[in-house]
Amino acid sequence: MITRTVLVRCDDVAEQWNPWRALREREHIEFTLKPLPAVTGGAVCWPQEGWTAIIIDRGLDRRHRNAALAHELVHDEHGGACPTAGMPPEYEVVAHRHEHRVRREVARRLVPLEDLAALIESHALNDLPAFTAIDVAEIFDVPVAVADEAIRLLQ
């Protein structure tokens, strides 16, 4: 007998935080899509006095563009910078710690943990195979790295 896993689309779970809606609400942000070098990781947040520029790489697919914007909006909220080459070693440690917090917050917002826990529990109760990060990425329409971080947050 062949068993087939049926995945639920994210439309069937609680509404996720929408970074594009959040962007529209932040009048101090100048946003643009432009080609960016790979070293940027696909996005740049550049705070200035009274305003912030966010640039997302036009070459990113929709899921990665969404996650990149979410990431930069969390940076906008909390300050701090991504670790960069040439950064003083003392600050690099702080920047890596801050970056870790930003990644966790993005996972929390794009993959509501209560919904993820309920889906995992439902799967377990029905003797279905365990969810993988790929499954979670499909269900919540996020990149696999974000799904993986959300799964780690539940553990």
| Tokens matching residue 39 | 């070293």
Q: Please state which of the ranges 34-38, 59-63, 120-124 shows the lowest mean pLDDT.
A: 120-124
Q: Which of 59-63, 89-93, 96-100 has the lowest mean pLDDT?
A: 89-93
Query: Is the pLDDT assigned to residue 77 strictly greater than 70?
Result: yes
Question: Which residue has better confidence, 146 or 127?
Answer: 146
pLDDT at 91 over 80: no
Please say if the pLDDT value at position 140 is more than 80.
yes
What pLDDT does residue 42 have?
Answer: 93
- The yes-or-no verdict on residue 81 having pLDDT over 90 is no
Evaluate if residue 131 carries a pLDDT over 90. no
97 Cβ neighbours under 8 A, 6+ residues apart: none
- The residue-averaged pLDDT of 32-44 equals 93
Distances (CA, A) of 103 to 136, 142, 149: 16, 13, 7
- Give the C-alpha distances (Å, rounded to integers) separating 117 from 112, 124, 142: 9, 10, 16
Mean pLDDT of the chain: 86
Residue 85 pLDDT greater than 90, yes or no: no
Quote the percentage of the chain above a pLDDT of 70. Answer: 85
Q: Which of 22, 18, 20, 9 is nearest to 140 (CA)?
A: 9
The answer to whether 69 and 56 have CB atoms below 8 angstroms apart is yes
Contact 34, 109 (CB under 8 A): no
Q: How far is the C-alpha of 122 from the C-alpha of 11, rounded, in Å?
A: 17
pLDDT band at 82 (very low <50, low <70, confident <90, very high): low
pTM reported for the whole predicted model: 0.83
Q: Higher model confidence: residue 12 or residue 55?
A: 55
